[in-house]
Structures are given as C-alpha cells and as structure tokens.
Structure 1
Amino acid sequence: MSAPTSPGDREKVVSKLPTWLRQHLKVRAAQHGVEIQTAVEEGISAWCDLASATGAVDTAGADSFSTFLPEGQWEQFREISADRKVSLIQGLAQSVQLWLDTNPVPDVERPEVTRRIIVCNQKGGVGKTAITAGLGEALAEDAGSLHPVRVSKALTKVLKAAEAQGTDAEPEDKVLEVENLPGPGQRVLLVDFDPQCHLTNQLGGEPLPMNGDSLTNHMAGDPKSDLRDLVVSVDDEAFGGRLHLLPACNDAFLLDVRLSAVRAREAALERALAPLESDYDVIIVDCPPSLGLSMDAAVYYGRRRDGEKPGQSGALVVVQAEDSSADAYELLTTQIDDLRDDLQVDIDYLGIVVNLYDSRRGYIATSSLQGWVDIKDPKVVGLIGDLKEQKEAVRVKKPLLSYAPRSQQAVGMRALARELV
C-alpha cells in the first residue's frame, strides 16, 4: 500500500479490490452520476463511522486499485482498520460494499405518457430505418451495464465547426469524445410502417404473410387477431426482452386506399396501437417515404397529448448532407404544418438527424451540414457517420448495437438517444 501525495487537497492511494466489486462500483457510480473517488470517499467515511466492521467480503483475486482521497482520510482509515484487526484490502472492500448497499440501483425512469417518435422523411434512402433501429436499440440497452456514448459536447464541436468554418468542418472522428454510461433501460416497440419491410428484414424478422393479420388490417378496421400476437422480441440476450418489433406486411402498399374509406382516418394508427401502449415506454414508428394518408396517420400519432410535455413525442426527421434531402424536407414540413392547422393539434419536431455523413465528400457534404445547422428549429440532434458496420449489421440481419457495440455509429446512436430522453 502506498499513498504518495498529489497536488491539491487529495492524495493518491493504491490498494486492491476484487474485479467483481470494482465493476459494481464503476457501474453504480455512473448510475448515480458521481465519480468513483467520491463513492469510495463516502464509503470509507461511512465505514469508519460504524461501531465495528461489517460482514466480511470475498476478496479472492483482488487486483490493484487506485483512487484519490481527501488528505488524512487514508491515515484515519488505516488506524481504524488496525483497531478492528481488519486488513486494508478487506476494510476497503467492506467500505465499497457499504456504499453500494446504501446507494442501490436507481429505478429506470418511466414516462407518464408513452412516448411516440415518428421517424420520417418523404425521401427514400436517407437511412430512416437504420436510425429507427439504432435509436430503439440504444434506448433499450441495459441500465445495469456501461456502454460507450459520444458525449453531447462532441456533437457540439462538430456542429460548431460546420457553422463557423463551413467547408472546413472537421470530420466527426477527429473530435469524438466518449464516456461509458448506463443504458436507459427503456421498454421499446419498433413499428415497421413501411410496406417494403426494411426494418423487419434488417432485424432478422419475417414480414407478415399477406393472407394473415397485419397492422394494415387493424388500421382499416378489419383485425383478424390481437395485435400483440404479431409482436416479436429482438435479440433478448443483448436487450433483455426490452426491445420488440411489430413486423410489416406488403399489404401496407394498399393502406392509403383502404384508409380512404375509414372515418377519422388520421387517428387510424393511434386506434390500432393504443392497446399496446401500456406495455412500452417508447414506441418508434419507421415511416414510409410517402406523403399520403398513411403519413398523415403517423404524424397525427406523434402529436402532443393532453398532459404531455413538449418535446416528448413528435417527428424526428432523418436527412443526408446533400441537396435532395433539403427538397424532401420542405415537402414533409409543409405536410406536418398543414396537419397542425387543419386538425388544430400540437405536433413537435424532435430534431433533425444528419445520417450517412462523410466530410471527405467535400463541399457538398460540409456545406449541406452547415445548412442543416443553420435551421436552428428544429435543431440537429444527431450526426451519424457513413461507416461499414451498419451495412455489415444489415447484411447479417443483426441489430447494430449488438453486432458492433463499440463502433462509432453505435456510439452516435446512443448519443442521439440521450438527446431525446
């Protein structure tokens, strides 16, 4: 054991902790938003204040552990450990365990109203499906484990570079800052609302058969079964049963025609999904590249409900840093604004995600990114690079965050999720 003095009012101490206990400490400190050294300080202080040592902790396989404590605390701890005839390693383990016991795992925050996120853009090929899947996966990750997340200031650096320097904006990977954070642990339903079934296929699901039941049937008022019976779980090992998928069916190509005969057709998606909402914290809808009646129903589903805070539900617009995305964005926002006015409802924009970004493409990419940044409202809430891991995940039909959990795209998806939580 050594305790060389470091600059400031803390000193470095070196001891040992078993690997399992160190991991629990690391995760729990992150869950409570405190530094590990603060947790150890509080644990030692509480242990020293006890009348006697606590129950013995298994320290087999203990390995080197260092931290910084207030000057003098370690000497006090050494004296009390000697009085209690407890080794420093055992005393430290008991202190850490005491802190864990008095700081239990916090409950996962659940929204009062199920959040509804509509991932949309009239233009195809911008990556709406990839963003829908990645966002849902990030929201469903385990709250009891740490996952690499791009911190918000990293995104801010990229966007400020684009805003201030235009074509000289730095590539995302040059300003990437990452920290390990607990997953949100949300219960998530992904709704494949596109007749092309891309989301279903990408996640390894099977499109629903044309002669069976489907979301289309429920929206058209002709259900053949309980909609819950159509929902499938996605990669339980990675997401602990928290991530589910409502697969698409090719019959959605006929949805606009069928909706034309339905009363209050703008509420058709809401009526269909309402029975499922109590099972989930978030429902994310992967919309088709369309401006038809089905898109009206999707946008209406994402409206702000009574008692819901602004920005909880609404439209998340996926674009690319190129000119055709800007044209499609104008069409989409016009449709949303018209629906707002016609039905007198509040429909919030949750933000813009610039997807498949690569500054190496030069002036078109960087100047287009600057154009999205300049919009301000809605603001850019995500910047996802054009990297190979997403394409590979699609090829093997696995969720990106379980296929390549430490990839830059996965790190960016987690950052996007936290921008929207």
Structure 2
Amino acid sequence: MATPNPSGDREKVVSKLPGWLRRDLKVRAAQLGVDIQDAVSQGIAMWQTTSDVAPVDTAGGVAWSTWLPPGQWAELKETCTSRGMPLVQGLAQAISLWLNTHSAPAPTSYTRRIVVCNQKGGVGKTSLAAGLAGAYAEDPELEVLVAAEAVALQSADGAGLSSEATDLLTTDEAHAGLGLRVLLVDYDPQGHLTKQLGLDLIGIDDPSLAKHMAGTVRTGSIRDMIVTVEDSRFGGRLDILPACNDAFLLDVMIAMDRNRQATLERVLEPLEADYDVIIVDAPPSLGVGMDAGIYYARRRENETPGNSGVLIPVQPEDSSDDAFDLLRRQIESGQVDWRIEVDDLGLVVNLYDSRDGYVVTSSLEAWQQLKEPRVIGVVRRLKEQREAVRARQNLISYAPTSEQAKVIRRIAREIV
C-alpha cells in the first residue's frame, strides 16, 4: 500500500518485514548516520539493477512502513512481478542488499541500559518499568504470548493505523521467554516500584542508592542492597535495587559533586557485568538526579545505536505533550553540555481508553504521527495492572496472558 505525502516529495508505503531484518536495518542505519527511508530507497535502486540476490526468509513478517520517493514503490512491484516473486520478498532482498553493501563498525558489547523517564506523574512509568523487567526475565522454557506489532500499535478500535496495515498481522505470536538477567532500579523517591513488587523500602538511616551516589557510604557494597524477586516465572533472574525515602534529597546530596551527572553511573557500572539489562525507573522531576539518569542512558564509545537509551511513557492527553517537550529539552541540553548521544528507544502511550472521547483519540493519533521518537506500544487502561499492584506482583507473573502483558512483551522485543 502507498499513501502520498501531502508535501509530494515522498509517499508512505506499508508492507511486511521479518522482525530481525527490520532491527538490522534500524541499527545499521543508525550506525552509519543514514535515515532509514534513504537506506531502503538506496537498497531498492541497487536491487533493480541486480539479478542474483539470494532469497530471504520472510517468515514471521510483521507490519512495517516507511517513506519512499514517488513511483519507486510502483516500480518495485512491477519488477517483482516480472521476476515472479512476492513484493515482500523483493523488498526484503533490497534491504538485505543494502545491508550487505554497507558494513557496520565493530561494536563494543555493553549491558543494555534502559531509563524509563517522564517528570509527569501518573503516566504509568513504574508499571512499564516493572513489566519490561518481567518480560525480559521470563523463563526461556516457557512459551509466552506476544502481541502482534500491528496490535501493539493500535487502540481497541483500530485508531492510528490503516486497515491495510492492521490486516497484515493482528494475531498473537508464541515465543520462548527471553531469559535475561535483569536489574530493576527504583530511582524514584516515592518507592512505588519497590512497593508494587512486595518489598520494603530501605530504612532512612541505612545505606541507599542516593547515599552511594553522594559518596557518603564508607563500608559495604551496593550489591548488599539488591533483592531477588522470588517468582518461579523469573527463575532468580530478576533483581531489584529498592528505593529509600532519602532520594527526595538526592538533588541536594549530589549538587556539589564535580561530575554530578556521572554519579548514577559510578554506582551502577560495577554491577553491569552481572546483568544483561538494567532498567531504571527514573524520578518524576527535571532536577540533577534526572540529569544523572540521562547521562547513564547515553551511548558509550562504540556501543551499538539503540542498545541503550531513554524510553518515555506518555498519556493520550495535552498535559502529557507539555511534559514531553520539557523532558526533550532537558535531554537535548544534556547532550550539548556533556557532548554525548542519547538514543530514543521509543514512546509508549499508556493508560489509553478510546471511550474517554475525542481528546484522547486525537492525542493518540498525534503521538503516532511523530517520527522520532516513534510510538512502539499502546497500553490500554485495563484492570489487570491495578490488580497486580494490589497483589504486590509483577503484571507479567500475575496476568501472563492479559492484553497488557502481551503488549509489554512486544515492546520489550522492539528494543531488545
């Protein structure tokens, strides 16, 4: 399917691509500083003049879209017809050809660091962080249900995607659990994450994350504070660093540190060798504590683009839009001041319910129209998450077959 761009210089095309090929394209384009739509256009142009491209396994294709110069999509269709192959195969071959002719620099392996942030309260930041951690830690011996990409990106009434796109793949997929070692860091002084998972806050006089960041802990290790979530679904792979109420004073505690933006990294970096993923539930503020969270999410030397970064939950309402703008300014200011790159892992539109009316549905459409960061999931407002909080359990364990759990697993796989 092709839809003209109002400006006339590009047309939006929708097809299917295997998830692995889409991820390779996204990463390679970022590594080389090339826009994805330009990479695809270049690949199609090369493929048109090449006749010996190896077939590509397109099984498990998911809905995917990009923007191409007018007429290029039609030309691709014609060539596919003349070569006797499906359009999906031709597109996959073109992208593979571009990947094979554009080598990537050798990356350095780093633990994935995901900072879930938004200074606006009530956007579902904590539930998203906990859900992602559970999705990453699930037992690889389990078969789990993952929402199809099209389902993960639309509301219950299909808003935000065309009928052609949603028809491509709208059924759940069965996958093995990811089985990763995960550290979940409760960096929010309110401690909601710690409480949601059935743990106690650290005592106000005891060693804490904030005290370690401030350098006032003279004995013991940050490892002494880590607690394993006891749940057979996670098999000992999910740990949490609980919160302490002293984090309300964090900005004051680290304000005079010469490299205050690096204080969170100084504490967490020694733990990275023990984990595949570290997820930080950031504080709802724009203070120096958030600066430290942004700095921790930065792309390190030779790190694969998109391996780490910020994940931003938002709500489908106008005030969330204002809060997002403020957060983006803080991130952009930090990138300039510290000469770093912080990757956007995506937006998650949380607590969506189309029954709330036009403001909500139109806000969702506005979020989905953003190119960067793009929406990678829409989580509806359903009772299972509230019940999981009441039961003091991770949603992935409390309701593993719920719609929310399936969408969160899709989000996890979008950024893994």
TM-score for both structures, normalised by structure 2: 0.71
In structure 1, what is the equivalent of residue 139 of structure 2? Answer: 142
The answer to whether residue 112 in structure 2 is matched with residue 115 in structure 1 is yes
The answer to whether residue 311 in structure 2 is matched with residue 323 in structure 1 is no
Q: CA shift at 1:222, angstroms? A: 1.4
In structure 1, what is the equivalent of residue 179 of structure 2? Answer: 185
In structure 1, what is the equivalent of residue 254 of structure 2? Answer: 259
- Render the CA deviation track for 1:156-210: whole Å, top value 9, x for unaligned: 5559953467xxx9xx9xx952121111111110000000000000001110001
In structure 2, what is the equivalent of residue 198 of structure 1? Answer: 192
- Render the CA deviation track for 1:254-291: whole Å, top value 9, x for unaligned: 00001112120000000011111100011000011100
Q: Which moved more, 1:232-241 or 1:366-375?
A: 232-241
- Render the CA deviation track for 1:186-244: whole Å, top value 9, x for unaligned: 11100000000000000011100011100001100112421111000113311001111
Alpha-carbon distance between aligned partners in 2 of 1:400 and 1:124, rounded to the nearest angstrom = 20
Alpha-carbon distance between aligned partners in 2 of 1:152 and 1:227, rounded to the nearest angstrom = 38
**1:369 partner amino acid:** L
Q: CA shift at 1:154, angstroms? A: 2.3
The 5-angstrom pairing of residues 217-236 of structure 1 reads 217-223=211-217, 224-236=219-231
CA 141–34 in structure 1, closer or farther in 2 if over 3 Å, else same: farther
CA 156–398 in structure 1, closer or farther in 2 if over 3 Å, else same: closer
In structure 2, what is the equivalent of residue 418 of structure 1? Answer: 413
In structure 2, what is the equivalent of residue 346 of structure 1? Answer: 341
In structure 1, what is the equivalent of residue 360 of structure 2? Answer: 365
The answer to whether residue 301 in structure 2 is matched with residue 309 in structure 1 is no
CA 409–206 in structure 1, closer or farther in 2 if over 3 Å, else same: same
CA 34–382 in structure 1, closer or farther in 2 if over 3 Å, else same: closer
Is the 8 Å Cα contact of residues 153 and 375 (structure 2) preserved in structure 1? no
Alpha-carbon distance between aligned partners in 2 of 1:301 and 1:331, rounded to the nearest angstrom = 19
SS in 2 for 1:238: coil
Is the 8 Å Cα contact of residues 148 and 179 (structure 1) preserved in structure 2? yes
Structure 1 residue ranges, 4+ long, deviating more than 3 angstroms after superposition:
156-165
Alpha-carbon distance between aligned partners in 2 of 1:305 and 1:294, rounded to the nearest angstrom = 20
TM-score for both structures, normalised by structure 1: 0.70
The answer to whether residue 402 in structure 2 is matched with residue 407 in structure 1 is yes
In structure 1, what is the equivalent of residue 205 of structure 2? Answer: 211
**1:128 partner amino acid:** K
CA 235–382 in structure 1, closer or farther in 2 if over 3 Å, else same: farther
Structure 2 gaps, min length 5: 1-57, 61-107
Alpha-carbon distance between aligned partners in 2 of 1:288 and 1:177, rounded to the nearest angstrom = 36
In structure 2, what is the equivalent of residue 153 of structure 1? Answer: 150
Q: Which moved more, 1:227-236 or 1:278-287?
A: 227-236
The 5-angstrom pairing of residues 32-47 of structure 1 reads none
Structure 1 gaps, min length 5: 1-32, 36-110
Larger radius of gyration: 1
